[in-house]
Amino acid sequence: MKSFAFAFLALLVLLAPPAKAPASPTRQEVVSAMRTAADFMMAKLSYRGGFVWKTTPDGSLRYGELRARDSMIWVEPPGTPTVGMALLEAYKATGDTIYLDHAKTVANALVWGQRPEGGWNYFIDFEVDGLTDYYDEYFSKRWGWEEHTKFSDNSTFDDEVTQSATLFLLRLYDTTQDPAYRTPLFDALDLILESQYPNGAWPQRYPLRNDYTSAYTFNDGAIFNNIMVLLEAYDRLGRPAYLEAARRGMDFFIISQLPSPQAGWAQQYGRDMKPTRGRKFELATVSAGQTADNISDLFTIYKASGDARYLDPIPAALEWLDASAVGPDGLYTYFYETETNRPIYARKPTIEDHVATFVPTYDSEDAYPYGHRFTLNVAGLRQEYERLRQLEPAAARAEFDIERAKSLVQPILARRSRGTDYRTVVKHAEELRQIIDALGDGSGWLEEDVLLDEVHFMNNPPWDIVAYDTGTYVARLFRLINQLHDLEGGGE
């Protein structure tokens, strides 16, 4: 009897109609969720209009790239400018001026922390008097974050810091023509012009210091992101100086390519145009990762300029990558010794008095994770090169314009978005419904997260935390914005 009952129940399941997929959220539901999320960000996660990367529910712990003081906000994406660009796009998508008011509040925080030369440091601290002590007691002891171990009294182009703030102010000023943002914007753009070397390169930081930050720096997009900001500034503001500087930056890609048979690029160069060391674990080598980045950047540069000269370096660079694989399936390492082309690594550091010592090694098993082995899709790069080589300049420029129009609805510059595609339109109603329902009663998108151990992350496990993540907030807000665009006014 029991087996008959089970069989009968199974038959009912088979005969039952399939579960209905959840209905797509209406336009009003999307608009309401956007407003709830943005209001929560400004009310609960913001300090004086700015943001860090992660915040615990009680606000007792706030993190950017490292733990932040209560008086700090982070400029480096996905920090304060990232949020500002999302709010600005929310205003454009809805016409709701509350988003524009929020965006101006964010901009005001950035303007407060703008440095005298016109750029920004990684963070802004509204209580400057305590900053020296914080470096002495905390930042200086975080050996894995060398760029933060001592206070640098200048602006940085590393990790899109100055570029993202400049881009946000550019878009805000272009949208509003508010004179309050004109001088800060032009000061930032003047800094980019002033800091460019005669050969077209940029340093990592400016004004110059007598250390690795004064090198000609491709690493972390310093040169490429400045070019992209200048191109957008030229198109929005029409000043020829921006286009001229952008073209000099483009030309640096050509003149800095290393000679065959190692026809790739280094992360940074000395005045002799030879690879030079960056941070202690960034070796003076030819870099496979940087070479792949530069090839992709040259694709964009060709589309922007229509000048085939920017495709010319690519075949030799691909040839070097082909010859430099360290294993099957496109496996590479980041650093290759000049002349020998031998893979080389920074040895796992020894730590004394919070100072890390890195020694070059050929042993990948004893290497610091930065610059370790990874895969590169060289075949995909070659395929794109062949496609672009057949593309007429006008068609290439049309592609660039389309891609840039799309980029207006992503907060971080191209390819530097920490793995998140902010242009995604959620096509599946269930996924979009989950994003909306996760806001719950308005208590925000809280999630489980991890942080690298700040004392010795190679020997200690990461920390488990529960926090609000600014990058998650921005990504989801942009997905709602893009869904609103996709609905094209329908779905009410």
pLDDT given at position 427: 62
Overall average pLDDT of the 116-135 stretch? 95
CA distances from 491 to 28, 36, 376, 483, 488 (A): 8, 19, 42, 11, 9
Q: How far apart, in whole angstroms, are the C-alpha atoms of residue 53 and residue 60?
A: 14
AA identity, residue 27:
R
Q: How far apart, in whole angstroms, are the C-alpha atoms of residue 302 and residue 387?
A: 12
pLDDT given at position 261: 97
pLDDT given at position 66: 93
- Top-confidence residue, 484 or 342: 342
For 451-489, give one letter per residue: b (16+ CB within 10 A) or e: bbebeebeeeeeeeeebbbbbbbbbbbbbbbbbbeebee
Q: What size, in residues, is the chain?
A: 492
365 is written with which tokens?
């098993």
- The domains of the chain are located at 258-408
Name the pLDDT band for 256 (thresholds 50, 70, 90). Answer: very high
pLDDT given at position 454: 81
Name the pLDDT band for 19 (thresholds 50, 70, 90). Answer: low
N-terminal to C-terminal alpha carbon distance within the chain: 52
Tens of pLDDT, residue by residue over 272-289, are 999 999 998 999 999 999
Tens of pLDDT, residue by residue over 423-459, are 455 567 788 888 899 887 777 898 888 888 887 777 7
Tens of pLDDT, residue by residue over 51-79, are 999 999 999 999 999 999 999 999 999 99
- pLDDT > 60? residue 412: no
Residue (of 160, 174, 169) closest to 74 by Cα position: 160
Q: How far apart, in whole angstroms, are the C-alpha atoms of residue 486 and residue 492?
A: 13
CA distances from 368 to 69, 346, 363 (A): 29, 6, 10
pLDDT given at position 34: 95
What does DSSP assign to residue 212?
G
- pLDDT > 90? residue 104: yes
Tens of pLDDT, residue by residue over 290-318, are 999 999 999 999 999 999 999 999 999 99
pLDDT given at position 88: 96
pLDDT given at position 414: 31
Name the pLDDT band for 10 (thresholds 50, 70, 90). Answer: very low
Overall average pLDDT of the 398-407 stretch? 84
- pLDDT > 60? residue 392: yes
Type and span of the H or E element at 335: strand 335-336
- pLDDT > 70? residue 417: no
pLDDT given at position 20: 57
pLDDT given at position 489: 55
pLDDT given at position 188: 98
pLDDT given at position 244: 98
Contacts by residues 58-67 (CB-CB < 8 Å, ≥ 24 positions apart): 61/465, 61/467, 63/451, 63/467, 64/122, 64/123, 65/122, 65/145, 65/148, 66/138, 66/139, 66/142, 66/145, 66/148, 66/454, 67/138, 67/454
pLDDT given at position 297: 97
Percent of the chain residues past pLDDT 70, beyond the cut: 90
Q: Over the chain, what is the mean pLDDT?
A: 89
- Top-confidence residue, 226 or 14: 226
pLDDT given at position 61: 93
pLDDT given at position 33: 95
- pLDDT > 60? residue 158: yes
Beta strands in 179-274 (DSSP E): 205-206, 216-217, 268-269
Name the pLDDT band for 9 (thresholds 50, 70, 90). Answer: very low
Overall average pLDDT of the 153-166 stretch? 97
Overall average pLDDT of the 234-242 stretch? 97
- pLDDT > 90? residue 231: yes
Alpha-carbon 443 to chain mean position: 27
- Looking only at the bridges linking them, the beta strands covering 446-451 and 463-469 are antiparallel
Torsion of CA 151, 473, 96, 113, to 10 degrees: 0
Name the pLDDT band for 420 (thresholds 50, 70, 90). Answer: very low
254 is written with which tokens?
């050509």
Tens of pLDDT, residue by residue over 131-142, are 999 999 998 888
- pLDDT > 80? residue 413: no
Q: pTM for this structure? A: 0.91
- Top-confidence residue, 241 or 148: 241
- pLDDT > 90? residue 209: yes
Phi and psi of 72, rounded to 5°?
A: -100, 150
Percent of the chain residues past pLDDT 90, beyond the cut: 68
Q: How far apart, in whole angstroms, are the C-alpha atoms of residue 122 and residue 66?
A: 11
Between helix 27-40 and helix 429-437 the angle, nearest 10°, is 40
pLDDT given at position 443: 78
CATH architecture of 258-408: Alpha/alpha barrel (1.50)
pLDDT given at position 296: 97
pLDDT given at position 404: 83
Q: Which of 20-24, 239-243, 419-423 has the highest mean pLDDT?
A: 239-243
CA distances from 30 to 33, 99, 240, 478 (A): 5, 15, 41, 11
Phi and psi of 62, rounded to 5°?
A: -130, 135
